[in-house]
């Protein structure tokens, strides 16, 4: 127990250590997070009137970001499936980064839901009177928190074992949880989709294709984020990230994005060919209704980005890592628009009784969103910052601070040994 406290304290200390670029990055993120906190305090005082939401469009950026991030969190598992089901060797050492990303994303999800609440002071009512299983929101509370705990356990256990230089008892404490996490990752996404799909009042959401599309777009955007994160890790640390692993991820992204585009086309065809009265929201999204066309530039930007990314990925070009990076950025932004603004907001326009009121987020609302993003990325940076020296054997119970490679741990410091150390800790 005492050892564990010391471990946490060392991790805390370590998160402050780095060169000026690391310091500047962390300082910037902290500053943005504090600005967000400030904006949220203003929202607490003056109510949700500080946002652009209205009775007509009662969910906005917060729920849009929440929806997108659930997908990002679920996608971490796309690293796990190749490793544990298809025995892919390249990705093996990188699984932990997927899990770390999942933890950060889920925490961001929970923050986004919390800031959307009118009465966060009454959160404990969830424990006192839980409308389960009728309300899909209660399902979401269970699956999101469960997924958070699962991933915290897997990462925490592996890292702590490496720190204690203990052999992790994989069969008992890792593999079963990883297998549960795979199913669970699909569930968090499906349940979140059902949150919307189950509402008969909103024809835009009331479509069976939403859940599969959620999964497809998440399995493109999530690994795209992981690719970018791995590129950063590769560039700025000595942790070994094989190019082959990135190419495997590229393939996953390619397949998922293709399926996503196919499902999107199916949906667009259904809406526009039949052209029933229920297509009003889709019309609004793609072409606007009369003078009201706030979302039109957004959705076409998103479609353009997705198309460009798909093109890059299908060309041999993307075997060059730089083009892969570009494609990943395009996918993340494209999916963020499509699944955030493009999925949540149009469902409210027009209202069920035909009124058209557009949604424009306020500065305060945007600041809160940026703050949560900064806090989440801060968390992810710290977790990666701690994980790398631990897994490469430079921070262990005997070596309180990351030691130099030229001491007795030299063999542990080299990239090869890093991989070996991780191999030890995970297999």
Q: Which of residues 211-270 bind other proteins (CB under 8 A)?
A: 235-238
What sections of 117-174 are H helices per DSSP?
125-128, 136-164, 170-173
Question: Applying CB under 8 A, which of residues 3, 28, 401, 427 lies at the interface with other proteins?
Answer: 401
What is the 8-class DSSP label of residue 52? S
Cβ distance to other proteins smaller for residue 45 or 172: 45
Instruction: Answer for the pair 397, 3: CB distance below 8 angstroms, yes or no.
Output: yes
- Answer yes or no whether residue 41 interacts with other proteins by CB under 8 A: yes
What sections of 165-295 are H helices per DSSP?
170-173, 175-197, 210-236, 243-274, 280-287
Q: Is 354 left (phi over 0), alpha (psi -120 to 50) or beta?
A: left
Shortest Cβ 37–other proteins spacing (Å): 4
- x/- mask, other proteins, residues 404-423, rule CB under 8 A, reads xx-------x----------
Q: How many residues bind other proteins (CB under 8 A)?
A: 81
- Answer yes or no whether residue 12 interacts with other proteins by CB under 8 A: no
- With a CB cutoff of 8 Å and minimum separation 6, the contacts of 172 are none
Residue 229 vs residues 22, 155, 163, 305, 404: alpha-carbon distances, Å: 15, 17, 23, 20, 25
- Site residues (CB under 8 A) for other proteins, limited to 69-98: none
| DSSP SS3 for 334 | helix
- Answer yes or no whether residue 126 interacts with other proteins by CB under 8 A: yes
Question: Applying CB under 8 A, which of residues 1, 171, 183, 353 lies at the interface with other proteins?
Answer: 353
What sections of 275-320 are H helices per DSSP?
280-287, 296-314
- Alpha-carbon gap, residue 115 to 63, rounded angstroms: 9
Instruction: Answer for the pair 154, 185: CB distance below 8 angstroms, yes or no.
Output: no
- Site residues (CB under 8 A) for other proteins, limited to 190-209: 195, 198-202
Question: Applying CB under 8 A, which of residues 95, 136, 310, 417 lies at the interface with other proteins?
Answer: 136
Question: Applying CB under 8 A, which of residues 146, 212, 242, 400 lies at the interface with other proteins?
Answer: 400
- Answer yes or no whether residue 172 interacts with other proteins by CB under 8 A: no
Place of tokens 């590769």: 234
Residue 24 vs residues 21, 35, 379: alpha-carbon distances, Å: 5, 16, 15
Shortest Cβ 93–other proteins spacing (Å): 18
Shortest Cβ 219–other proteins spacing (Å): 26
Instruction: Answer for the pair 70, 192: CB distance below 8 angstroms, yes or no.
Output: yes
Q: Is the peptide bond before 74 cis (omega within 30 degrees of 0)?
A: no
- Alpha-carbon gap, residue 196 to 379, rounded angstroms: 29
Bridge partner residues of 292 (DSSP): 289
Kindly indicate which of the ranges 249-257, 265-273, 372-380, 386-394 contains the residues binding other proteins, using the contact rule CB under 8 A.
Answer: 386-394
Kindly indicate which of the ranges 53-61, 71-79, 100-108, 265-273 contains the residues binding other proteins, using the contact rule CB under 8 A.
Answer: 53-61
Cβ distance to other proteins smaller for residue 200 or 316: 200
| DSSP SS3 for 292 | strand
- Answer yes or no whether residue 125 interacts with other proteins by CB under 8 A: yes
Kindly indicate which of the ranges 89-97, 186-194, 256-264, 353-361 contains the residues binding other proteins, using the contact rule CB under 8 A.
Answer: 353-361
Shortest Cβ 98–other proteins spacing (Å): 21
- Site residues (CB under 8 A) for other proteins, limited to 285-344: none
Question: Applying CB under 8 A, which of residues 277, 291, 316, 360 lies at the interface with other proteins?
Answer: 277
Residue 360 vs residues 54, 365, 426: alpha-carbon distances, Å: 10, 10, 48
- Answer yes or no whether residue 121 interacts with other proteins by CB under 8 A: yes
- Answer yes or no whether residue 2 interacts with other proteins by CB under 8 A: no
- Answer yes or no whether residue 162 interacts with other proteins by CB under 8 A: no
Question: Applying CB under 8 A, which of residues 1, 45, 171, 183 lies at the interface with other proteins?
Answer: 45
Cβ distance to other proteins smaller for residue 59 or 157: 59
């Amino acid at each position: 127990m005492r050892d564990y406290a010391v471990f946490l304290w060392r991790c805390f200390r370590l998160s402050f250590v780095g060169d000026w670029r690391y310091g500047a990055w962390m300082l910037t993120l902290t500053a943005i997070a504090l600005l967000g906190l400030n904006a949220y305090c203003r929202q607490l005082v003056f109510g949700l009137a500080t946002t652009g939401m209205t009775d007509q469009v009662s969910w906005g950026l917060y729920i849009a970001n929440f929806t997108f991030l659930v997908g990002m969190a679920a996608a971490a598992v796309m690293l796990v499936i190749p490793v544990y089901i298809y025995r892919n060797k390249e990705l093996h050492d990188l699984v932990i980064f997927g899990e770390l990303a999942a933890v950060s994303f889920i925490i961001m999800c929970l923050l986004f839901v919390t800031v959307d609440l009118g009465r966060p002071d009454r959160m404990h009512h969830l424990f006192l009177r839980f409308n389960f299983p009728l309300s899909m929101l209660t399902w979401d509370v269970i699956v999101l928190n469960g997924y958070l705990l699962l991933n915290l356990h897997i990462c925490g256990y592996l890292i702590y074992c490496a720190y204690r230089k203990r052999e992790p008892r994989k069969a008992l404490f890792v593999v079963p949880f990883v297998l549960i996490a795979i199913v669970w990752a699909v569930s968090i996404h499906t349940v979140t989709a059902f949150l919307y799909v189950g509402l008969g009042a909103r024809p835009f959401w009331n479509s069976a294709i939403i859940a599969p599309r959620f999964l497809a777009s998440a399995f493109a955007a999530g690994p795209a984020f992981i690719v970018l994160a791995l590129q950063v890790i590769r560039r700025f640390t000595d942790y070994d990230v094989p190019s082959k692993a990135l190419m495997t991820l590229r393939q996953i992204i390619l397949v998922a994005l293709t399926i996503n585009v196919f499902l999107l086309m199916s949906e667009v065809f259904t809406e526009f060919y039949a052209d029933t009265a229920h297509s009003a929201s889709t019309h609004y999204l793609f072409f606007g209704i009369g003078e009201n066309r706030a979302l039109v530039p957004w959705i076409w930007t998103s479609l353009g980005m997705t198309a460009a990314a798909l093109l890059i990925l299908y060309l041999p070009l993307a075997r060059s890592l730089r083009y892969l990076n570009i494609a990943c950025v395009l996918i993340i932004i494209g999916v963020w628009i499509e699944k955030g603004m493009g999925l949540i907001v149009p469902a409210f326009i027009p209202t069920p009784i035909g009124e058209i009121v557009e949604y424009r987020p306020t500065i305060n609302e945007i600041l809160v969103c940026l703050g949560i993003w900064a806090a989440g990325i801060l968390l992810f940076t710290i977790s990666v910052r701690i994980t790398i020296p631990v897994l490469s054997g430079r921070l262990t119970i005997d070596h309180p601070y990351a030691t130099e490679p030229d001491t007795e741990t030299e063999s542990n410091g080299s990239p090869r040994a890093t991989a070996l150390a991780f191999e030890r800790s995970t297999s």
